[in-house]
Structures are given as structure tokens and as C-alpha cells.
Homo-oligomer: A and B are copies of this chain.
Amino acid sequence: MDNSEFRKQAHKFVDWMADYLEHVEDYPVKSTARPGEITAQIPDSAPATGENMDDIFQDFQNIILPGMTHWQHPGFMAYFPANASPPSVLAEMLTSTLAAQCMSWQTSPAATELEERMMDWLRQLTGLPEEFVGCIQDTASTATLAALLCARERLHKFATNHSGLSIAGTHTTYASAEVHSSVDKAVRIAGLGSDNLRKITVDENFAMNPEDLEHAIESDLNAGCIPTCVVVTLGSTSLSAIDPLRKIGEICQKYKIWLHVDAAWAGSALVLPEFRWMIDGIDLADSLVFNPHKWLLTQFDCSAFFVRDKAALIQTFEILPEYLKTREGDRVNNYRDWGIQLGRRFRALKLWFVLRSYGQEGLQNHLRKHIGFCQDLARKVEDHREFELLAPHPLALFCFRYKPEGLDKEELDLANERLLEKINDSGKLYLTQTRINGQYALRFVSGSPTTEQRHIDEAWALIQNIALTVTTK
């Protein structure tokens, strides 16, 4: 493809992109494709010779688009949002054109230095301690794994990286029963083992019980285990529970255990001073992750990972073969040594575009708008005699269920499962589920940049209307 063809096609693509964002609401939010439906339309093998871009683009529209779930749809209230604001789309256009590898300072100085600045902008915006430094990771899964590895290595003075874990004993990790599955995954990958992940009981707000944490640590110590890491969750995935950071931090200090804070979704809300209570005690934490790609208008992937002790992070990951040496040495940050991957995209650019386009005020408006939507709607749900809320809802997520009279537990679960399916099949609204105290629950998360009050009103009307149909047959 020569450059004039690229220019022509790219202009055509831009019009499609702007049209798409303008009309995203007209698509069914959750794809209606059936398994195998897309596959059947893609040839078995690559073409022998090149095809022209008009045909490829046409196929994108005809084959791929109907198979997409539209994450930027105003009715997307499932999982957590994946915010992709227009400024972040613009930045990604530049990133993909430069297509630089940002593994070392030398391989793109501006990428490294902008990343340093952006991490510090984020740190200030969220009220994190001055000592916190960090870098952008792809996902919170990776960042949490990195934190766990730092914990493991610092504990053994970085010797297990060399010796392996076989001689080191049983390493225990602690998190609330509401912790995200990425922690289960990380303890497996890091060789600590999921049997040694202690899921600590939670209180009536689904927050970790610090007394039980301390009890578990004591009991593990008595059994000869090595307490390695505690993960505090701020805003659990199921139902947005907030663990008591300070109390847990004091326990970690007492027992000298690495304290990692998983604020993947809720961390963005720290841009609002009225939510800083969540990080009371952050001075006791060793690391924190939150994802601007969830709720801070910056598109995936962009996970902000902070550590108090940069040396521990680097000592955990640094490897320097001859072919990666650069003359700047350690006078600069080489982010390849701050995580698992060697290769890194230029992710700081989209953050820069977003933080400048919105400014602190714009980010705060965005967050407050969605928290407002959610709180208002939660009140309506609570006031409705045939619905109930199932957990506290401090942010922009609430869990609820339809609870008409006369149904037993099993029938209620079934009715709510059916409610979810019918809502999602409507194409107007996409919700996902969880279980709370064994009960099937629907999650409602507001966060899409395209969502307005009318979408919330329509969503509530839809939920009520569909609910009327789920117990009649």
C-alpha cells in the first residue's frame, strides 16, 4: 500500500470512526452472534495474493461488526467499563503510526520521560504518597503479579529469583473473600500456590475483617509458613467492597508483609477528594494498581502500577544481556526492568492526551456524573417493592435482584437469571451477574463516556418491564 492510498483509506476510516461513535447507540450493545457464526464467514486460509483495502474494509463492516459487543455503547453496564474517550482514540492513531518499542529509554526517550510525568500526574490526581513511583502496565492482572513477585523476592533478599522456590517453604498470601480472580492466578504463576491463598472473612459490608487477617497470619506463622503478601481490595469486582486499608496496613507493618492495594476500578474515584477516605492508611502500603482504562477515559490497555520502593521492583525484574545495554545505563529509567514484558507500547501518550483534554475538572465531572447516576438509580431500585439491593454501593456499581413475592430461593435465582438473559438479548442494555451470599445478583455499573440520564431512565424502565415477564411462564 503506497502512501497516497494509505492517506485516502485513513480519511475514509476516520469518517467511519466518527459515524460509529455518533451512532454506537443504534447497535445491539451485546453481540447477537451465535458461536461459529463469524468463523463461518472467514476463509480457511490466507489469500495467496494481496487483496485491496476496500474489500477488506467492507468485510470488516459486514462480518466483524455484527459480531462485536459494543463496549462504548451508552447501555454498556456490564463488567467494568472500558473507557475510550475521543482524545484517547486520537492519541492511539499517533502511537500506532510511530509504532515505537518503548522497552528502554534509548529506544524512545520521549515515551519514557512522558510516562514518568504521567505517572506522577496520576499520583497527584489520586492523592497517592509522594514516594510512590511507577509505570504503566497492560492490566491489573500483570501489575498484581508483579507486586506479588516483589513481595516474594524482597522477603528472601532477592535470592529466590535465583534459587527457585523449592527450598523456601510455604508462602502464604492474604486477601478478602471478595478478591479478584487475578490474585488466584498470580499466586499460581508465582509458584506460591492457590492453596496458600487465605481468603479472609468479610464483614456485613463485604470488607475484610482485620482481626481474622491477623489470626490467619498468626496461625500460619505457628505452622511454619511464610506470610508473603496481603492484597487489599478497594472496590471489589463483584460488588465494590472497600477493605479497611489502615487497619490492615498496621497488621502488615507489624508482621513486615508486603501490602498491595488492588484499586483496579475504584482507584479512578480517588480523583474526587470526597473518596480519599478509601486510601486512609496508604502510607502503610507497598504498591497500588488502578486502571485508567476502566473509568478514567483512557483506552485499554493502561494500568497504573505504583510502588514505594522502586529498587525492589527493579531488583525483581532486571536482567541485562549485552544486546540490551545502552550508554545511558541507570541514569535513566529503562521500563523493561519494571515488569514482565520486554517489549512495551507507547502508552503514556493517550494518558497525556486524556489528562490534558479533560483536566482535573473534566475528570471529576465524569466520575461524579456516573456516581450520581448510580446512586439515584440504586435509590429507585431500593424503593421498588419488588426489587432489592444486595450490597452497599459507595461508587458507581450496585447489585440488585428482582424479588417478587411467593418465590423460593431457587425460583428467585432462576427468575433473575432469566431477567439477565432477556435484558442482554434486548440489545439496549448489557448487565452481568455475580453471587452474593449464595444469591444470584445482577450488577449495574455506570461509566461509559456516552451514557446520559436518559439511558439510565431507559435502562430502569427496561429492567422493570422485562421483570414482569420472567415469572409468568
Contact yes or no, A170 B164, CB < 8 A:
yes
Q: Which of A83-91, A246-254, A373-381 contacts B (4 or more CB under 8 A)?
A: A83-91
Contact yes or no, A72 B50, CB < 8 A:
no
Chain B residues closer than 8 Å to A164, beta-carbon distance: 165, 170-171, 187, 191-193, 195-196
What separation, in Å, do the CA atoms of A456 and B16 have in the docked complex?
A: 39
**Contact A92:B86 (CB < 8 A) given known A161-B188, A190-B189:** no
What separation, in Å, do the CA atoms of A38 and B333 have in the docked complex?
A: 13
Chain B residues closer than 8 Å to A45, beta-carbon distance: 120-121, 124-125
CB within 8 A of A71: which of B14, B42, B100, B293? B100
Chain B residues closer than 8 Å to A324, beta-carbon distance: 181
CB within 8 A of A48: which of B90, B96, B114, B361? B361
Q: Which of A205-213, A282-290, A352-360, A386-394 contacts B (4 or more CB under 8 A)?
A: A352-360
Q: Which of A6, A109, A169 has the most CB of B within 10 A?
A: A109
Q: At the interface, yes or no: A327 with Cβ under 8 Å from chain B?
A: yes
Chain B residues closer than 8 Å to A116, beta-carbon distance: 39
Contact yes or no, B124 A94, CB < 8 A:
no
CB within 8 A of A343: which of B36, B184, B301, B331? B301
Count, chain A residues at interface, CB 8 A: 158
CB within 8 A of A349: which of B64, B108, B184, B300? B64
Q: Which of A90, A163, A169 has the most CB of B within 10 A?
A: A90
Chain B residues closer than 8 Å to A79, beta-carbon distance: 101, 107, 323
Interface residues of A in 451-466 (CB under 8 A from B): none
What separation, in Å, do the CA atoms of A44 and B130 have in the docked complex?
A: 13
Residues 148-184 of A, flagged 1 when their CB comes within 8 A of B and 0 if not, give 0100100000001111111111110000000011101
CB within 8 A of A31: which of B6, B33, B69, B109? B109
**Contact A113:B36 (CB < 8 A) given known A166-B169, A300-B99:** yes
Q: At the interface, yes or no: A98 with Cβ under 8 Å from chain B?
A: yes
Contact yes or no, A166 B163, CB < 8 A:
no
Contact yes or no, B165 A193, CB < 8 A:
yes
Contact yes or no, B193 A1, CB < 8 A:
no
Chain B residues closer than 8 Å to A7, beta-carbon distance: 14-15, 18
